[in-house]
Structure 1
Amino acid sequence: MEGMPQNTPKTVEEVFMDFRGRRAGLIKALTIDVENFYQQCDPEKENLCLYGLPNETWEVNLPVEEVPPELPEPALGINFARDGMQEKDWLSLVAVHSDSWLLAVAFYFGARFGFNKSDRKKLFQMINDLPSVFEVLNGNTKQSKDHPGTHNSSSKIKSSGKSRQSENHTSKSVKMPMPLKEDESGGEEEDEDEEQGLTLCGACGTNYAADEFWICCDVCEKWFHGKCVRITPAKAEHIKQYKCPSCSNKRTRV
């Protein structure tokens, strides 16, 4: 099976890295590459599965023939329901099964290499610190609108540069933590930094970092790494209304 890593993870940290890579691939399939993923899930084809790979990529493929398989298998036949339900509901259902599969693979490695109680607990805590694929897909993560004190509603771009307002596009600005008043304590500044760190990329699901360029979708209001959606700071300054790949690809399906 192509999803089997060349160097099978044997420690908690290695299993978590494998989990995170597969998760990133699945999130990419259901958000950034959603149109490509949709087209590959042709109901006329045989039973298909969505695999997340350790190198942060994904593939739609037939299940393996071996019984039992080398790794737990994802949900079988996801393509058959594609045209029988609303696209959003279908993607959400695939996301839920993807989350279940990710956990199955991670704890399969744990069982295979004899993780003890503390190892399993450590692995679960590391996994649980990341939002699920379903949460990322449906925006059920702590985004900018959850922290009005940190993310101004008129700010759609943020990076490590100084706060500024574009002369030509007043709806866009580079976003940094809100300045503190002179009588505010250093503890409040730490709280704001912590809140900003809770912002999660709508594509890869990782946390905000001050040295990275981010942009917010004007439709779904999710934040994205510029690199994840292929938007540079210079390009963003000339965008009057930014739509993320998922919102851009939305269309009515019968």
Structure 2
Amino acid sequence: MSDPDFTTLRQLMLAEITAKTIFATSYLGKAALRRLVMEAMGKVPRHEFVPFELRPYAYVDSPLPIGFGKTISQPFIVAVMTDLLDVQPTDRVLEVGTGLGYQSAVLSELAQRVYSVELIDELASQARRRLADLGCSNVEIKVGNGCNGWLEHAPFDKVIVTAAPELIPPALTYQLKPGGKMVIPAGLPDAQQLIVVEKDASGSLTTREIFAVMFSTLEDAESG
């Protein structure tokens, strides 16, 4: 497929995200996502972050396999999670679960710096290459156990997790700045909820469930 074809498909993807957001108004509390989030979704070429043989399906609103039993998230979910995170231009963001780097690329359009942790070495290597090819110079990736966050660069203004633990890892809430926000899917495999965690100025946490989701399990390298 040619670049103009992908551009057209990306515009159709944005239209579908817009429509699904309207239907999710009761969950999200609004009928439209932030303009900057939609612009980032419209700019990042999702076809560059899927296996080559799946490129024709890159803009279908569905998760797609990327190898190692992992998936690239559904575009609507990426857009919603990014919107809920409320990324600001000065934010330093921790991402847990790099995959092939699509969510990292979207965040790179919005944040000052993105620190992303990926458990699987080969996925991390591919993500680095794909992000470098697109000039995403404000993303740093390391191979490691995402449940531990990235202490060397903590605290973070925002944290986003793209795989689901049963319980929110304590290290991630610890590494979140007072006034910060985390978006994370969590729960048993058949009962996951997308959750927004906020830490107030005193360090107290509040959580809010958005809607039911289905993510790959966040693996803990130390218990596997």
**TM-score normalised by the chain length of structure 2:** 0.25
Q: TM-score, normalised by structure 1?
A: 0.23
- Please say which structure displays the higher CA radius of gyration: 1
